[in-house]
Structure 1
């Protein structure tokens, strides 16, 4: 990226963090998760059977892992370049969705747009590290990660206001992706030159070396299991509220907005997440996610309980992913690379969980969601740091 995109003035770290929130909001909450929200409108415009829709969602997850792997490899040395890839892929993919004249072009747009999220997380982890004092990094990492919730809120609002005019909605997503990327690059006060890296961190990390995942065995296991359980709400939550709960389109979109508000609310607890031990924050966030998942599946017909469950799920899920970032920062040799590995495990778990939940839904909604809740609860146990590792993860 050209140096002219960097501000000569040293902005307050919170101002830079705000731009990071915007980039995460667009790449995750809109470009990636917006597919599910607009799926009814997409299905009306293109011949998307449920099977094809599921395959497309799986393909998007696979390409997310590819882009996260690229971010793993390069974000520690070239975070500005990876941030640029995040904004460009989300913007160009969203434009492809908006202008798609045929199903193949539409599919390509969806896949490209979803890759932006994989680039965004490792880039922002490294850029926050470079732009904030060490005492504030944990809190700001959680604040930036809460951007997913803001994006989900905006996605829900767009689906309500522009549900049928979905092409216009995705043009707006493209514009927001480009604008947030430029804001990040403009407000970044760090250098993208190798000389800015701490001593001993000149080489790009590799996905295949033992050092890349050293110390991450427990959070990797936790992320994989947690992802498998969280997929039920992300993939089937809105459909469950409409089909099993009898909610109308507007009410189910409102539940999605409540979920996003919960995710955005995770920013309010960012300081507490950074201050408390991961032995406390990880089990707490995953167990609340489990309870909310169970409630969605067992009480979809209760408006009050469904909205409360959606809000709680958004808050707890976002908090859990923030804890994964803090965990990677605490134990991994490279925080951006460690975050990428954990988020890849999370998404792979979601891909597997989506298929399993889909099969279980044939036996009953409550049973499928209770199994998903059990997976979330199990992740609270399998990933708790050992006593020997407490010092490293606070």
Structure 2
């Protein structure tokens, strides 16, 4: 792996982080996670059972993984191209959802919309790396990643504003995704002074990445299985227990606000060890999942649990980005691997939880999901390599990699 000695980070645009956050909001919070928010309306229109709704969510997770693997292959060398794929698939898929007249077309559109998030993360991790000084890297990556929460807030607001007219909401989501993409492309300055010249990912490097990231891969997968309960079936749970549609949308807004507030956790995540931050965020996600299921009739408690879940989940995904940055040979590729594992876990969890709901009910299903979350922290996260990265890190990487406190 080779890089030019001239770093594009000196040409950082002050607006790139904002536009990157907006693209994460559009691809994750709206086009991908918005599915769970609008699932009650989708189920009424297309007659989806919990199992079928879970299967479709699993399918969207698989499509995400396909795009994330493509991002793993090309983001290190062509991040702008991968960013274009992120915005275009999210926009076209959302437009397809808005116009679908039958279940087959609707399902295909959901799968395409879900691909945008898989492309977005590796592309933006690399663009941030090229544009932002190394000393600000961890903080900026966490800030950009908090865009998920802002997107969920916007999705909840759209659900409240348009009511049963969900097609209008998804048409607007397509517009937001396209606008965010244009903003990222216009604010990226790395292309103007020469970027990196990394070689394409090889099978040898892929194997090295997998070995370096084996523990976080497993931790991310287990966490994904657990958190899928809230993301996919959470709003249906609230309405099934008697909460009004407007209030359930409000709970989703609270969830999104919690995710947005995660931007304030960026300094804390950057200062503390992965061992500490992973434990804290996963346990908080599990607690929120349990409370969410046990007290849907207590509106303030439900809103508080939703906000805690949004904060904890978003912060946990930021920990995965930092973990990849300090364990893998390339941050974009490593992040793709970990997020692929996370979403594969969500694919398994969405179907599993849907089946458990039909079998023994919401409360038991969510309690089981919370327990699965906790399995991801039974083995504490290892300390990063003393260089701050994996063994295969290049000299140039060591010169630019931000320091990570390794004391639990």
TM-score by length of 2: 0.88
CA contact (8 A) 2:13 2:187 kept: no
CA contact (8 A) 1:289 1:376 kept: yes
Residues 101, 384 of structure 1: alpha-carbon distance in 2 compared, 3 angstrom cutoff: same
Alignment-derived partner of residue 377 in structure 1: 374
Aligned pairs for 1:182-193 (under 5 A) are 182-191=182-191
Aligned residue pair count: 381
Alignment-derived partner of residue 100 in structure 2: 100
Equivalent-residue separation in structure 2 for 1:350 and 1:229 (angstroms): 7
Alignment-derived partner of residue 210 in structure 2: 213
CA-to-aligned-CA distance 1:130-160 (integer Å, 9 cap, x gap): 1100000100000000000000000011111
Is 1:234 aligned to 2:225, yes or no? no
- TM superposition shift of 1:49: 4.1
CA-to-aligned-CA distance 1:160-208 (integer Å, 9 cap, x gap): 1113222221111111111100100000011299x6226xx31225498
Moved more, 271-280 or 380-389: 380-389
Equivalent-residue separation in structure 2 for 1:209 and 1:90 (angstroms): 27
CA-to-aligned-CA distance 1:293-326 (integer Å, 9 cap, x gap): 1111122211111111100000011000000000
Residues 205, 151 of structure 1: alpha-carbon distance in 2 compared, 3 angstrom cutoff: farther
Is 1:222 aligned to 2:219, yes or no? yes
Equivalent-residue separation in structure 1 for 2:83 and 2:388 (angstroms): 32
Moved more, 73-82 or 209-218: 209-218
Alignment-derived partner of residue 396 in structure 2: none
Alignment-derived partner of residue 7 in structure 1: none
CA contact (8 A) 1:294 1:369 kept: yes
Alignment-derived partner of residue 141 in structure 1: 141
Residues 299, 51 of structure 1: alpha-carbon distance in 2 compared, 3 angstrom cutoff: closer
Alignment-derived partner of residue 113 in structure 1: 113
Q: 5+ residue gaps in structure 1?
A: 1-9
CA-to-aligned-CA distance 1:217-266 (integer Å, 9 cap, x gap): 1111110111111111111211112213x211111111110000000001
- TM superposition shift of 1:40: 2.8
- TM superposition shift of 1:111: 1.2
Aligned pairs for 1:261-340 (under 5 A) are 261-340=257-336
- TM superposition shift of 1:71: 0.4
CA contact (8 A) 2:12 2:190 kept: no
Aligned pairs for 1:350-365 (under 5 A) are 350-361=346-357, 362-365=359-362
Equivalent-residue separation in structure 2 for 1:48 and 1:103 (angstroms): 9
CA contact (8 A) 2:36 2:233 kept: no
Alignment-derived partner of residue 248 in structure 1: 244
Equivalent-residue separation in structure 1 for 2:135 and 2:328 (angstroms): 18
Equivalent-residue separation in structure 2 for 1:390 and 1:365 (angstroms): 46
Moved more, 264-273 or 30-39: 30-39
CA contact (8 A) 2:83 2:119 kept: yes
Equivalent-residue separation in structure 2 for 1:373 and 1:42 (angstroms): 26
